[in-house]
């Protein structure tokens, strides 16, 4: 079992961690998705704070997945330093490291190809809960993903193809389109950025999440 899967199994309840946790400078500033486009604004109004759409519980899932995606892509952070979750040639690398420093020098390497296949499975495990929760609101989320990618000048992102596919074809699209660590790293960053934008654009859900976090903290202190 690789270090990333171990991290998932041992993860603490980040669902209730402070909203400032794990912020990085590796992505653009968050965007309010509903402040430019009326159709996008209507989608936000439909989703934000609504039970079964994006309420406090769903916001917590989004927050947790976004943080885990960041650790997946850049490595696990501890004491101000990051350690990659994937072992290759006796060294630990992050997805970004493998994309930037390794794969161009090991084209066709069987070990590296197997590592990529494993990393893609890890990604699917990581985002599975969010995808399951999003099924009933996918049409609206696709609108928001398109806006996020447009505003960030990511018009050719694989995320757009993946999001607009049918639920039955999401896995096929992901495995077909993502054929390298570079592709996986870019896909993850685009999804991270979207989730960041989505959280920032849903103030009602954020407020519900904060109240749940405060309740959780109070209950822990009372025990």
Instruction: Give residue 28's pLDDT.
Output: 54
Instruction: Give residue 7's pLDDT.
Output: 41
CA 51 from chain centre, in angstroms, equals 22
Instruction: Give residue 5's pLDDT.
Output: 42
Residue 168 resides in a domain: yes
Selection from 132, 140, 135 nearest residue 47 by Cα: 140
φ/ψ of 78, rounded to 5, equals -150, 130
Total count of domains within the chain: 1
Instruction: Give residue 3's pLDDT.
Output: 45
Residue 8 resides in a domain: no
Residue 11 resides in a domain: no
Residue 15 resides in a domain: no
Residue 171 resides in a domain: yes
Alpha carbon distance 113, 18 (integer Å): 37
Residue 41 resides in a domain: yes
Residue 1 resides in a domain: no
Q: pLDDT tens digits for the chain (223 residues)?
A: 444 443 433 333 444 444 433 333 234 578 999 988 999 999 999 999 999 899 999 999 999 999 999 999 999 998 889 999 999 999 999 999 999 999 999 999 999 999 999 999 999 999 988 888 888 888 999 999 999 999 999 999 999 999 989 888 889 999 999 999 999 999 999 999 999 999 999 999 999 999 988 988 888 888 7
How many Cα atoms sit within 13 Å of 174 on the Cβ side?
21
Instruction: Give residue 52's pLDDT.
Output: 87
Is the Cα dihedral 28, 34, 40, 46 positive or negative? Answer: positive
Polymer length in residues for the chain:
223
Residue the block writes with tokens 């993860």: 11
Instruction: Give residue 205's pLDDT.
Output: 96
Residue 14 resides in a domain: no
* Domain span holding position 127: 34-222
């Amino acid at each position: 079992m690789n270090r990333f899967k171990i991290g998932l199994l041992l993860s603490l309840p980040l669902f209730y961690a402070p909203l400032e946790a794990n912020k990085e400078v590796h992505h653009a500033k968050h965007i309010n998705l509903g402040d430019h486009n009326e159709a996008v604004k209507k989608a936000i109004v439909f989703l934000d704070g609504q039970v079964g759409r994006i309420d406090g519980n769903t916001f917590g899932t989004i927050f947790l997945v976004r943080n885990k995606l960041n650790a997946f892509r850049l490595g696990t952070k501890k004491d101000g330093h990051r350690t990659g979750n994937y072992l290759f040639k006796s060294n630990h690398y992050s997805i970004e490291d493998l994309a930037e420093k390794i794969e161009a020098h090991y084209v066709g390497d069987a070990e590296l190809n197997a590592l990529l296949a494993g990393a893609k499975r890890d990604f699917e495990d990581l985002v599975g809960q969010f995808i399951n929760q999003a099924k009933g609101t996918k049409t609206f989320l696709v609108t928001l993903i398109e806006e996020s990618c447009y505003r960030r000048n990511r018009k050719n992102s694989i995320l757009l193809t993946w999001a607009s596919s049918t639920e039955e074809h999401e896995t096929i699209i992901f495995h077909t389109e993502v054929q390298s660590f570079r592709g996986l790293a870019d896909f993850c960053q685009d999804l991270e950025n979207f989730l960041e934008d989505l959280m920032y654009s849903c103030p009602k859900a954020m407020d519900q999440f904060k109240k749940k976090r405060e309740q959780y903290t109070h209950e822990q202190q009372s025990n």
